[in-house]
Amino acid sequence: MYLPKSKYSKPIYSRGDSLYLPSGKAYTGWYFETYNDKYYTGKTPTRTSQELVKEVHTDAFNPAKRFTNDLIIPTELNYKDGYITRYFLQDKRTKSIIEAKKKKYLELKKFQYIQSIKVKWNLISPAENINEGPYVYFGSASKNKELILDAEKTIEGLSNSINNYGQFVK
């Protein structure tokens, strides 16, 4: 990274209280600010300088307040469409998994330590399989279970956080 001296500040020292590495870890050390209000590690721009994230809100980087399950309730429009998109996140450091609303999902999935996936959850009745002679018509619960098992390729252990594959089916 090259920047003329007029395009970045003098080196500033961070004590680890307001800047974060892309991994989410608090940054302690020298950094500089660029003309476009971005922050980078080091005293001057180099190839190894990493962009830092500045804490804007007090709770923004507090995992206890951010990484919690949201209450998901399908709307009538979801039932009319026959599905709801469910958003799941996993903190790779702790392996904890949450379900989030779209806004939180989009905010948190940007971090390198967050694994994310969205699942198109079936809401169409019947929930259980129907046997008609030699034929089996799969219900929404079976379809949802298949979706979650496929999603486990991305988020390991996701099926352990789902208790009812027929959840929300009317």
For the stretch 140-152, pLDDT in tens is 999 999 999 999 9
Check: pTM over 0.75? Answer yes or no: no
Residues whose CB is less than 8 angstroms from the CB of residue 48 and which lie 6 or more positions away in sequence, other chains included: 41, 42
Q: Is the predicted pLDDT of residue 44 greater than 70, yes or no?
A: yes
Q: Is the predicted pLDDT of residue 155 greater than 90, yes or no?
A: yes
**Cα 52–Cα 57–Cα 59 angle in degrees, nearest 5:** 105
d(CA 67, CA 63): 5
What is residue 55's predicted lDDT score, i.e. its pLDDT? 61
What is residue 134's predicted lDDT score, i.e. its pLDDT? 92
* Burial class for 4, CB neighbours closer than 10 Å (0-12, 13-18, 19+): exposed
What is residue 93's predicted lDDT score, i.e. its pLDDT? 85
Eight-state DSSP code of residue 7: G
Residues whose CB is less than 8 angstroms from the CB of residue 115 and which lie 6 or more positions away in sequence, other chains included: 89, 90, 92, 154, 155
Give residue 96's pLDDT band: very low, low, confident or very high (50, 70, 90): very high
Give residue 58's pLDDT band: very low, low, confident or very high (50, 70, 90): very low
- Tokens 């027929």 sit at which residue? 166
Give residue 65's pLDDT band: very low, low, confident or very high (50, 70, 90): low
